[in-house]
Amino acid sequence: MSAPLVPQSEDDKRRRRRNSVALGLVLAALVAIFYVLTIVKMGPQLFTTRDL
Amino acid sequence: MAFVDDSKDDIVGTGGARVEDYFALLKPGVMSLVVFTAVIGLMLAPGAIDPVVAVIAVLCIAVGAGGSGALNMWYDADIDGIMSRTRNRPIPSGRMTRGEALAVGLICSGFSVATLGLATNWVAAGLLAFTIFFYAVIYTMWLKRSTPQNIVIGGAAGAFPPMIGWAAVTGDITIASAVLFLIIFLWTPPHFWALALYKQGDYAAAGIPMLPNVKGEPATKLQILLYSIVLVGSSLIPVAIGMSGWIYGVVAAATGASFLYLAWGVYRARDQLTMRKIARHLFLYSLSYLFVIFLALFADHSAHLLGWL
């Protein structure tokens, strides 16, 4: 059975929003790191076109 | 005073942790020293590394250190609640549950090791994983509460970062990177015992067997002096093996002499007030000492690279 809902105070809402934004930024940074890392690891050949 | 109650832990959700609490969980103070020494290790290493990869590697080392700090706070929440220095940490203050800290610690540790391995090499990643394991399990869970030699052996965890930075570039472990490890390893005991000398009431209340509480002040003061002598001697090894030149040698000798002077002052102090004052001075000085000699290593290395010497 789920727990009864407890009304949130304004302070709680603000805190949760800030935590969510921070978590979102961390995830976005992780995506950016892996994207940049992939580009760097693949090197300049990534941007050279191949004749098919 | 807030204590951690394991029986209630993790049943309710968040205790109201804010972003700042999560940041504090990563021990930013310790992290800054880890990042600094890792960067120096990375800079001194022979060979080249892409600047972007270097930044990512340092970030991984920082997050890994943060993860081990979170695991430390997860396990030590009970004794953190007793000591004045740690009472306001997120868990003992009641703002965060132990489960949250454990989750943050495991996620940061896992992601940092995996990302470092993918970004650089698996030797560096393996060293980072071992460092986290050593700090969280060997030091925190075992040594800290069981032996007055806790920070001597546990100090290895704080000594690994320059070796990890070095390995991120070269992919191996060399004598030169081991010398960087040795300097921090020998620096740790006098640094923490100086803190323990003027905070021994805290450690005694928490039941942590720090050297002053177990062996007494005279033995601790002697150990500080002996370790300081070995530390200052070892800090000159980079010059002896040709890793660094005279710039580093002069700085290491001068700052080492001041270190020994303070260690001697602690050893000679007879009354409590003077001893605590000099011990506090030594603790603070030891922080800048490590910073300065690592900066001197980098300055010396750069001067040689640029052909100024």
Least confident of B15-29, B63-77, B162-176: B15-29
A6 touches chain B (CB under 8 A): no
Q: Hey, which residues 54-93 in chain B have their CB within 8 Å of chain A? A: 56, 59
B264 touches chain A (CB under 8 A): no
pLDDT for res A4: 64
Closest residue in A to B54 (Cα–Cα): A37
A28 touches chain B (CB under 8 A): no
Least confident of A13-17, B63-67, B285-289: A13-17
Q: What span, in angstroms and rounded, lies between the C-alpha atoms of B23 and B15?
A: 16
Q: What is the pLDDT of residues B289-308, one digit of tens each?
A: 999 999 999 999 999 888 87
A32 touches chain B (CB under 8 A): no
Q: Give ipTM to 2 decimals.
A: 0.76
> pLDDT averaged over chain B?
91
Q: What span, in angstroms and rounded, lies between the C-alpha atoms of B153 and B140?
A: 11
Terminal CA-CA length for chain A = 61
B90: tokens are: 């997120």
A20 touches chain B (CB under 8 A): no
Closest residue in A to B119 (Cα–Cα): A37
Question: Measuring CA to CA, which residue among B196, B288, B167, B117 is closest to residue B109?
Answer: B117
Locus of tokens 């203050």: B93
3-state SS, one letter per residue, for chain B? CCCCCCCCCCCCCCCCCCHHHHHHHCCHHHHHHHHHHHHHHHHHCCCCCCHHHHHHHHHHHHHHHHHHHHHHHHHCHHHHCCCCCCCCCCCCCCCCCHHHHHHHHHHHHHHHHHHHHHHCCHHHHHHHHHHHHHHHHHHHHHHCCCCCCHHHHHHHHHHCHHHHHHHHHHCCCCHHHHHHHHHHHHHHHHHHHHHHHHCHHHHHHHCCCCHHHHCCHHHHHHHHHHHHHHHHHHCCHHHHCCCCCHHHHHHHHHHHHHHHHHHHHHHHCCCHHHHHHHHHHHHHHHHHHHHHHHHHHHHHHHHHHCCCC
- Chain A residues with CB-CB distance to B120 below 8 A: none
Residues 6+ apart with CB under 8 A from B182: B159, B234, B237
| Cβ-defined contact of B115 to A22 (cutoff 8 Å) | no
- How close A30 comes to chain B (CA, Å)? 10
Give the pLDDT band of residue B207 (cuts 50, 70, 90): confident
- How close A37 comes to chain B (CA, Å)? 7
| Cβ-defined contact of B18 to A19 (cutoff 8 Å) | yes
Global confidence as pTM: 0.88
Q: What is the pLDDT of residues B236-277, one digit of tens each?
A: 999 999 999 999 999 999 999 999 999 999 999 988 889 999
A17 touches chain B (CB under 8 A): no
Q: What is the pLDDT of residues B113-168, one digit of tens each?
A: 999 999 999 999 999 999 999 999 999 999 999 999 998 998 899 999 999 999 99
B18 touches chain A (CB under 8 A): yes
